[in-house]
Amino acid sequence: MSALDWVVLVGYLLATTFYGCLFLRKNKDSTAFMAAGRSLPGWAVGLSLFGSYVSSISFLANPGKSYNGNWNPFAFALSLPLACWLAAKYFVPLYRAGEQISAYERFEKRFGRWARVYATMCFLLVQVARLGTILYLLSLALQPLVGSLPLPVLILLLGLLVTIYPMLGGTEAVIWTGVVQAIVMIVGPLVCIGVILAGVPGGFGAVVSQGVAADKFSLGSLAPDFASSSFWVVLIYGMAINLQNFGVDQAYVQRYLTAKADRDAARSVWLGGLLYIPIAALFFFIGTALWAFYQAHASALPPGTKPDAVFPWFIQTQLPVGLKGLVLAAVCAAAMDSNLNCSATLFVHDLWAKRESASEAEKLKMLRIAAVGFGLLSVIAAIAMISVKTALDVWWDLAGVLSGGMLGLFLLDRLVPKAQGSAALPATIIGALVSIWVSFSQKPYWPVSLPQAPLHTLLTLTAGTLTIVVLGALLAQRKESSK
């Protein structure tokens, strides 16, 4: 990179990190660290929610998907309006009605201690997998610029960077740095698409005509096929994962609690969710435009380049001086929404044995230690992803298996008032087994003698969730009838 690019990139990283660390002085107790005094404006919370969606998973993996295939994964985003409506009408009032910080505190009251611990552990594992994927993709984008620095070392350095300000500044730092990151994440892709279109003979019209001819804009098959990645499979997956996000994901619930009023929290949901739809379309269009670009400039792309690496390669080799640093800053912005403050909050609030007897100083210290610990675990997960083919596929598999139990318990709580722990526990165990079966029975290492699931792995979350709700309802009804 040029000196100007380095100034833009490094300047952005240092300025954002420094800005986040400024909130250290506001975190005088654990409540301030976790909920930011419940005083933030809805628009800021909404942009932060938007930033949670546009991680480097979206910034790099989505263009990789549409470059290598079509717009099938975009069906995920089309489920957001309904999910936003449900969240604003039902979920936000539910969580803001009480004083709880943990999204899973209510599970203990309904089903027992095991339910709270189970949901907390699932969330923590999902966040480690998420941040690991983000760090891997970001490192993939930056490695060509740092010469001989090994990818694992780069992952470690970036992991330390995205851990610093959530550890020091807490949730308020995450919200306000998220506002800055959201703006940069919108500007960066717009710059990229302009440069790509300028390099395609015929520009926008050529990308569209060539993409239509090659079926690159397809959202997938509309046939009722649930064993392949059809439009309906991705749409159902999107509805399930977005219900999980808005309804039971601590990263979202904790943001609801930071808003100064219920109306602000509801507006933040609509802003964050609906803003993602056009930006997601832009990311997929970047992938399609990159496909058209390298159709015209085939020699400019090294043979065997992984789909996830095509966009980073374009950034490295095609963007002009100054813009390269800006776009890489946008990639970094997409990666810096780490949610480590939420993981630390759950660890202290739900798992730490000494929470009730600890002083505020001890709680605050443990929150920061936990944030660092989960940051290091995410680095390990990122290094483990180096050998995978497509990071987005791995992320979706892991999220489906780990999230099913959380959403299932949430819906069982809301939809089946008579269900107690005696019904929820066996339903959750069987639901987890169903999730594992759907997700892994089609993998090469699955024992041949065991039956394979007739569903696509994207339906893992849906299958596990429905199993828990239906079986839990049946067991609760049986117990009621036996009285």
Give which of 60, 58, 64 is closest to 76, Cα–Cα: 58
Q: Please report the pLDDT score of residue 388 as a whole number.
A: 64
Whole-angstrom CA distances from 189 to 79, 200, 274 are 23, 17, 17
* Weakest mean pLDDT among 155-169, 326-340, 464-478: 326-340
Residue 316 burial (CB < 10 Å; 0-12/13-18/19+)?
middle
| Average pLDDT score over residue span 56-61 | 71
Find the DSSP H helices in 36-150. Answer: 42-53, 56, 62-68, 80-86, 92-96, 105-111, 113-142
Give which of 168, 184, 141, 191 is closest to 333, Cα–Cα: 184
Predicted model pTM: 0.82
Residue 390 has pLDDT above 70, yes or no: no
Q: Please report the pLDDT score of residue 179 as a whole number.
A: 84
Query: Which positions ≥6 away from 441 have C-beta within 8 Å?
Result: 450, 451, 452, 453
Residue 389 has pLDDT above 60, yes or no: no
SS3 441: coil
Round to whole Å and give the CA distance between 454 and 225: 10
CA dihedral of residues 209, 284, 11, 45 (deg, nearest 10): 130
Whole-angstrom CA distances from 348 to 101, 226, 475 are 11, 40, 33
204-220: per-residue pLDDT in tens?
999 999 999 999 999 98
Round to whole Å and give the CA distance between 162 and 342: 14
Q: Please report the pLDDT score of residue 209 as a whole number.
A: 95
Q: 10 Å Cβ neighbour count for 297? A: 13
Q: HSE on the CB side for 191, CA within 13 Å?
A: 22
Q: Please report the pLDDT score of residue 381 as a whole number.
A: 85
SS3 string, 328-354, reads HHHHHHHHCCCCHHHHHHHHHHHHCCC
| Average pLDDT score over residue span 17-24 | 78
Give which of 278, 285, 258 is closest to 269, Cα–Cα: 258
* Weakest mean pLDDT among 157-171, 241-255, 260-274, 425-439: 157-171
* Weakest mean pLDDT among 233-242, 261-270, 321-330, 411-420: 321-330
Round to whole Å and give the CA distance between 26 and 468: 42
Contact 322, 5 (CB under 8 A): yes
Can you say whether the dihedral through the CA atoms of 62, 282, 81, 246 is positive or negative? positive
* Weakest mean pLDDT among 135-139, 357-361, 441-445: 441-445
* Weakest mean pLDDT among 73-87, 312-326, 364-378, 387-401: 387-401
Whole-angstrom CA distances from 141 to 57, 183, 409, 483 are 12, 20, 38, 62
Q: Please report the pLDDT score of residue 360 as a whole number.
A: 80
Q: Please report the pLDDT score of residue 111 as a whole number.
A: 92
Round to whole Å and give the CA distance between 286 and 66: 8
Round to whole Å and give the CA distance between 28 and 30: 7
Round to whole Å and give the CA distance between 16 and 441: 44
Q: Which two tokens stand for residue 23?
A: 């909130």
Q: Which two tokens stand for residue 84?
A: 């936003």
Q: Please report the pLDDT score of residue 56 as a whole number.
A: 63
Residue 42 has pLDDT above 60, yes or no: yes
75-119: per-residue pLDDT in tens?
999 999 999 999 999 888 888 887 678 888 889 989 999 999 988
* Averaged pLDDT score across all residues of the chain: 85
